[in-house]
Amino acid sequence: MTIDGVPVAGPLIEARQVTRSYGRTPALRAANVSVTAGEILAIMGPSGSGKSTLLHCLAGIFTPDAGEVWFDGRRLDTLSDRRRSELRRTAFGFVFQFGQLVPELTAADNVALPLLLGRVRRGAARRRAISWLERLEAGELCDRRTGELSGGQAQRVAIARALVTGPKVVFADEPTGALDSLTGEKVMDLLVGLARQEGTTVIVVTHDARVAACAEREVVVRDGKVTDPYAGEVAR
């Protein structure tokens, strides 16, 4: 694969001819997309185009009706539910539109939760959580609960939670959709900046061109078909 004529490494994560339907309604039609390690990819498209379904297939949340999903040299879609869940805890991080934080927990405890699920000791998990909140300029939020956070603050906590385990891939589904434009830009700058520092691959779903501009490459989903300008192909 090449970008602007420059050869790049093979894909870390890839969808090959992925098809997915909801009942009789097709969401993806033989979708192809590949993402290299450390790349920041934007998946764009209007509401209902299938872009979130593609993200969920790449993350192993959904299994395709047909086609293949590959991650780090192995088939993801044929793994058991248990193995896919384990990958989502260890190799993947997630940022959603509304954060999806646990309201009963403090910000630091929300960030520490993936570590605790991975059997990291509570003290060490909390220290790592606080360190990540500080890197996201949110150290003062450690002991606040979800109801005490603004939208932008909650998304910083969600980004810290996504990155705290050192994932290979962060999946972000409309991460700025509930934020004003200035706050959204700040949140994306923090996510992209930290991902680049850590060498983390980021796949972000958005319909906002300003968010997509933070990425290094974009693909477009329309009516379940994926157009990749760099590959010059349309999945049919």
CB neighbour list of residue 232: distance below 8 Å, 6 or more residues apart: none
Task: Locate the domains of the chain by residue range.
Answer: 2-234
Tokens of 10: 């093979």
183-225 pLDDT, tens digit per residue, is 888 889 989 999 999 999 999 999 888 899 999 999 999 999 9
Instruction: Report pLDDT for 232.
Output: 44
Mean pLDDT rounded to a whole number for the chain = 90
pLDDT at 158 over 60: yes
Q: C-alpha 169: how far from its chain's center?
A: 7
Spell out the CATH class of 2-234. alpha beta
For the entire predicted model, the pTM comes to: 0.89
Instruction: Report pLDDT for 231.
Output: 54
pLDDT band at 91 (very low <50, low <70, confident <90, very high): very high
Instruction: Report pLDDT for 162.
Output: 94
Tokens of 24: 């009789």
